[in-house]
Protein backbone atom coordinates (compact mmCIF):
# COMPACT_ATOMS: atom_id res chain seq x y z
CA UNK A 1 0.00 0.00 0.00
CA UNK A 2 1.37 3.39 -1.01
CA UNK A 3 2.24 5.66 1.90
CA UNK A 4 0.24 8.86 2.31
CA UNK A 5 2.10 12.08 3.00
CA UNK A 6 1.20 14.65 5.63
CA UNK A 7 3.13 17.93 5.31
CA UNK A 8 3.93 20.42 8.06
CA UNK A 9 4.83 23.57 6.13
CA UNK A 10 6.75 26.31 7.95
CA UNK A 11 7.12 29.92 6.69
CA UNK A 12 9.77 30.58 4.06
CA UNK A 13 13.13 31.54 5.55
CA UNK A 14 12.27 30.36 9.10
CA UNK A 15 13.94 26.93 9.15
CA UNK A 16 16.65 28.04 11.59
CA UNK A 17 13.94 29.18 14.02
CA UNK A 18 12.01 25.90 14.00
CA UNK A 19 14.35 23.09 12.92
CA UNK A 20 15.21 21.96 16.47
CA UNK A 21 11.52 21.73 17.31
CA UNK A 22 9.82 20.30 14.21
CA UNK A 23 6.71 18.10 14.55
CA UNK A 24 7.53 14.44 15.15
CA UNK A 25 5.82 11.06 14.82
CA UNK A 26 4.01 10.30 18.07
CA UNK A 27 6.00 7.06 18.40
CA UNK A 28 9.02 9.23 19.26
CA UNK A 29 7.20 10.70 22.25
CA UNK A 30 6.45 7.54 24.26
CA UNK A 31 6.64 8.48 27.98
CA UNK A 32 9.50 7.12 30.10
CA UNK A 33 7.15 5.63 32.69
CA UNK A 34 5.66 3.42 29.96
CA UNK A 35 9.06 2.42 28.57
CA UNK A 36 10.22 1.33 32.03
CA UNK A 37 7.05 -0.60 32.79
CA UNK A 38 7.37 -4.40 32.71
CA UNK A 39 4.76 -7.05 32.05
CA UNK A 40 5.16 -10.73 32.90
CA UNK A 41 3.25 -13.96 33.34
CA UNK A 42 2.92 -13.21 37.04
CA UNK A 43 2.02 -9.52 36.75
CA UNK A 44 0.38 -8.30 33.57
CA UNK A 45 0.45 -4.54 33.09
CA UNK A 46 -0.74 -2.08 30.50
CA UNK A 47 2.60 -2.60 28.74
CA UNK A 48 1.07 -5.66 27.07
CA UNK A 49 -2.07 -3.77 25.96
CA UNK A 50 -1.66 -3.00 22.25
CA UNK A 51 -4.64 -0.59 22.07
CA UNK A 52 -2.93 1.57 24.71
CA UNK A 53 0.35 1.57 22.77
CA UNK A 54 -1.51 2.38 19.56
CA UNK A 55 -3.04 5.42 21.25
CA UNK A 56 0.40 6.66 22.36
CA UNK A 57 1.96 6.20 18.92
CA UNK A 58 -0.87 7.27 16.59
CA UNK A 59 -0.17 10.18 14.26
CA UNK A 60 2.12 13.12 14.90
CA UNK A 61 2.99 15.58 17.66
CA UNK A 62 3.12 19.36 17.59
CA UNK A 63 5.41 20.96 20.15
CA UNK A 64 5.22 24.48 21.54
CA UNK A 65 7.43 26.88 19.60
CA UNK A 66 7.54 29.47 22.39
CA UNK A 67 7.77 29.64 26.17
CA UNK A 68 4.36 30.51 27.63
CA UNK A 69 3.95 32.21 31.01
CA UNK A 70 0.49 31.61 32.44
CA UNK A 71 -1.00 33.06 35.61
CA UNK A 72 -4.56 31.83 35.90
CA UNK A 73 -7.46 32.59 38.23
CA UNK A 74 -5.83 35.21 40.43
CA UNK A 75 -7.40 38.36 41.91
CA UNK A 76 -6.48 41.47 39.97
CA UNK A 77 -5.64 44.14 42.54
CA UNK A 78 -6.73 46.94 40.19
CA UNK A 79 -10.38 45.85 40.04
CA UNK A 80 -10.55 43.08 42.68
CA UNK A 81 -11.85 40.61 40.05
CA UNK A 82 -10.70 37.18 38.88
CA UNK A 83 -8.19 37.45 36.05
CA UNK A 84 -5.62 35.56 34.02
CA UNK A 85 -2.38 36.48 32.28
CA UNK A 86 -0.73 34.93 29.24
CA UNK A 87 2.68 36.03 27.94
CA UNK A 88 5.24 34.57 25.56
CA UNK A 89 8.99 34.59 25.10
CA UNK A 90 8.67 36.71 21.94
CA UNK A 91 6.79 39.44 23.77
CA UNK A 92 6.50 42.72 21.84
CA UNK A 93 7.55 41.39 18.41
CA UNK A 94 4.08 41.39 16.82
CA UNK A 95 5.08 43.68 13.94
CA UNK A 96 8.08 41.50 13.02
CA UNK A 97 5.92 38.38 12.92
CA UNK A 98 3.35 40.14 10.74
CA UNK A 99 5.99 41.18 8.23
CA UNK A 100 7.52 37.72 8.01
CA UNK A 101 4.17 35.97 7.95
CA UNK A 102 4.91 33.95 11.07
CA UNK A 103 1.83 32.74 12.91
CA UNK A 104 3.20 32.98 16.46
CA UNK A 105 1.92 34.47 19.71
CA UNK A 106 3.12 37.96 20.53
CA UNK A 107 2.37 40.69 23.05
CA UNK A 108 -1.28 40.65 21.99
CA UNK A 109 -2.74 37.26 23.00
CA UNK A 110 -5.73 35.96 21.09
CA UNK A 111 -8.64 34.77 23.21
CA UNK A 112 -12.10 33.22 23.08
CA UNK A 113 -14.47 34.62 25.72
CA UNK A 114 -16.30 31.97 27.79
CA UNK A 115 -19.63 33.21 26.41
CA UNK A 116 -18.76 31.59 23.08
CA UNK A 117 -19.14 28.16 24.66
CA UNK A 118 -22.42 28.83 26.46
CA UNK A 119 -23.37 28.60 30.10
CA UNK A 120 -23.66 24.82 30.28
CA UNK A 121 -20.37 23.89 28.62
CA UNK A 122 -18.28 22.00 31.24
CA UNK A 123 -15.10 23.58 29.82
CA UNK A 124 -16.13 26.91 31.38
CA UNK A 125 -16.23 25.39 34.85
CA UNK A 126 -12.85 23.73 34.38
CA UNK A 127 -11.35 26.97 33.03
CA UNK A 128 -12.78 28.87 36.03
CA UNK A 129 -15.09 30.99 33.87
CA UNK A 130 -12.17 32.89 32.35
CA UNK A 131 -11.23 33.49 28.72
CA UNK A 132 -9.57 30.78 26.64
CA UNK A 133 -6.14 31.65 25.29
CA UNK A 134 -5.09 30.48 21.85
CA UNK A 135 -1.76 28.96 20.96
CA UNK A 136 -0.86 30.14 17.47
CA UNK A 137 0.68 27.40 15.36
CA UNK A 138 3.20 28.38 12.65
CA UNK A 139 2.69 25.28 10.49
CA UNK A 140 0.26 24.84 7.64
CA UNK A 141 -0.77 21.18 7.67
CA UNK A 142 -1.49 19.56 4.33
CA UNK A 143 -2.97 16.10 3.65
CA UNK A 144 -3.89 14.32 0.38
CA UNK A 145 -7.35 14.88 -1.16
CA UNK A 146 -10.09 13.24 0.87
CA UNK A 147 -8.11 13.25 4.16
CA UNK A 148 -8.77 15.31 7.28
CA UNK A 149 -6.96 15.57 10.63
CA UNK A 150 -8.22 14.96 14.14
CA UNK A 151 -6.51 17.29 16.63
CA UNK A 152 -6.60 16.12 20.25
CA UNK A 153 -4.63 16.49 23.49
CA UNK A 154 -1.92 13.84 23.68
CA UNK A 155 -3.70 10.52 24.19
CA UNK A 156 -2.82 9.01 27.59
CA UNK A 157 0.24 11.27 27.72
CA UNK A 158 -0.94 14.86 28.10
CA UNK A 159 0.45 17.72 30.20
CA UNK A 160 -1.75 17.92 33.31
CA UNK A 161 -1.72 21.74 33.42
CA UNK A 162 -3.64 22.40 30.22
CA UNK A 163 -5.11 20.80 27.12
CA UNK A 164 -6.30 21.96 23.72
CA UNK A 165 -9.95 21.93 22.70
CA UNK A 166 -10.18 19.04 20.23
CA UNK A 167 -11.33 19.48 16.65
CA UNK A 168 -11.34 18.09 13.11
CA UNK A 169 -10.08 20.12 10.14
CA UNK A 170 -10.23 19.24 6.44
CA UNK A 171 -6.52 19.77 5.93
CA UNK A 172 -6.69 18.87 2.24
CA UNK A 173 -8.51 22.16 1.53
CA UNK A 174 -7.79 24.41 4.54
CA UNK A 175 -4.45 25.94 3.59
CA UNK A 176 -3.68 28.25 6.51
CA UNK A 177 -2.21 27.50 9.97
CA UNK A 178 -4.60 26.06 12.58
CA UNK A 179 -4.65 27.63 16.04
CA UNK A 180 -5.54 25.86 19.28
CA UNK A 181 -7.60 27.28 22.16
CA UNK A 182 -6.52 25.80 25.48
CA UNK A 183 -8.31 24.90 28.71
CA UNK A 184 -6.42 25.35 31.99
CA UNK A 185 -6.89 22.34 34.28
CA UNK A 186 -8.78 24.13 37.04
CA UNK A 187 -9.91 20.75 38.40
CA UNK A 188 -6.35 20.11 39.57
CA UNK A 189 -4.99 23.67 39.72
CA UNK A 190 -7.63 26.10 41.09
CA UNK A 191 -4.94 28.77 40.68
CA UNK A 192 -1.92 28.29 38.47
CA UNK A 193 1.26 30.24 37.82
CA UNK A 194 3.63 28.40 35.53
CA UNK A 195 5.88 28.53 32.49
CA UNK A 196 5.10 25.98 29.80
CA UNK A 197 8.41 25.52 28.06
CA UNK A 198 9.15 25.61 24.36
CA UNK A 199 9.29 22.03 23.08
CA UNK A 200 6.41 20.83 25.28
CA UNK A 201 4.26 18.42 23.22
CA UNK A 202 0.69 19.70 23.18
CA UNK A 203 -1.26 18.42 20.14
CA UNK A 204 -1.63 14.92 18.67
CA UNK A 205 -2.45 15.07 14.95
CA UNK A 206 -4.18 11.98 13.53
CA UNK A 207 -4.94 12.05 9.78
CA UNK A 208 -7.86 9.98 8.52
CA UNK A 209 -9.78 9.36 5.33
CA UNK A 210 -13.25 10.87 5.06
CA UNK A 211 -15.21 7.71 4.31
CA UNK A 212 -18.99 7.60 4.39
CA UNK A 213 -20.43 5.59 7.28
CA UNK A 214 -23.83 4.29 8.23
CA UNK A 215 -24.62 2.74 11.61
CA UNK A 216 -26.66 -0.37 12.19
CA UNK A 217 -27.34 -2.51 15.26
CA UNK A 218 -27.49 -6.29 14.75
CA UNK A 219 -27.83 -9.42 16.84
CA UNK A 220 -24.82 -11.73 16.77
CA UNK A 221 -24.74 -15.45 16.14
CA UNK A 222 -24.13 -17.64 19.20
CA UNK A 223 -21.92 -20.06 17.28
CA UNK A 224 -19.77 -17.28 15.83
CA UNK A 225 -19.46 -15.61 19.23
CA UNK A 226 -18.38 -18.92 20.74
CA UNK A 227 -15.69 -19.40 18.09
CA UNK A 228 -14.40 -15.87 18.72
CA UNK A 229 -14.23 -16.61 22.43
CA UNK A 230 -12.26 -19.80 21.79
CA UNK A 231 -9.77 -17.84 19.67
CA UNK A 232 -9.20 -15.38 22.49
CA UNK A 233 -8.57 -18.18 25.01
CA UNK A 234 -6.17 -20.17 22.83
CA UNK A 235 -3.11 -18.50 24.31
CA UNK A 236 -2.12 -17.31 27.74
CA UNK A 237 -0.19 -14.31 26.46
CA UNK A 238 -0.65 -11.59 23.79
CA UNK A 239 -3.94 -12.96 22.37
CA UNK A 240 -4.98 -9.67 20.83
CA UNK A 241 -1.51 -8.94 19.46
CA UNK A 242 -1.13 -12.41 17.93
CA UNK A 243 -4.64 -12.83 16.52
CA UNK A 244 -6.19 -9.45 15.78
CA UNK A 245 -3.72 -6.58 15.94
CA UNK A 246 -2.40 -4.87 12.80
CA UNK A 247 0.79 -2.88 12.96
CA UNK A 248 0.37 0.81 12.24
CA UNK A 249 3.03 2.84 10.44
CA UNK A 250 3.69 6.49 11.25
CA UNK A 251 6.92 8.01 9.98
pLDDT in tens, the chain (251 residues): 789 999 999 998 888 889 999 999 999 999 999 999 998 878 889 998 999 999 999 999 999 999 999 999 999 989 999 999 998 865 445 445 554 668 888 877 899 999 999 989 999 999 999 999 999 999 999 999 999 999 999 999 999 999 999 999 999 999 999 999 999 999 999 999 999 999 999 999 999 999 999 999 988 777 777 676 766 666 656 777 777 778 888 88
Q: Rounded CA gap, 222 and 217, in Å?
A: 16
Res 144: pLDDT: 97
Helix, strand or coil, per DSSP, at residue 194: strand
pLDDT at 236: 57
* HSE-CB of 106 using CA atoms within 13 angstroms: 13
| Confidence at residue 91, expressed as pLDDT on a 0 to 100 scale | 46
What kind of fold does domain 8-16+23-28+58-210 have according to CATH? Deoxyuridine 5'-Triphosphate Nucleotidohydrolase; Chain A (2.70.40)
What's the pLDDT score for residue 13? 86
Domain boundaries, the chain: 8-16+23-28+58-210
Residue 84's CB: how many other CB atoms inside 10 A?
21
Predicted pLDDT of residue 30: 97
SS3 call for 56: helix
Give the separation between CA 173 and CA 143, rounded to whole angstroms. 8
Tell me the per-residue pLDDT of 69-101, one tens digit each, with 9 for 90 and over.
999 999 998 999 999 999 886 544 544 555 466
Do 156 and 52 touch, CB atoms closer than 8 A? yes
Which residues have a Cβ under 8 Å from the Cβ of 204 and sit 6 or more positions away?
Answer: 26, 58, 59, 60, 61, 151, 152, 153, 154, 155
Amino acid sequence: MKEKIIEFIYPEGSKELFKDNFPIPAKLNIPDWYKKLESSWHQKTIKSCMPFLDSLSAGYILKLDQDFYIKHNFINEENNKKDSSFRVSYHGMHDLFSIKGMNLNSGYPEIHPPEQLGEKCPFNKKNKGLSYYKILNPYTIKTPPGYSCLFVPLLNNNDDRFEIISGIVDTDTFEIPINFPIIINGDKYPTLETVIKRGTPYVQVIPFKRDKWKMKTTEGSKSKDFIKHLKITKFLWNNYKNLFWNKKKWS
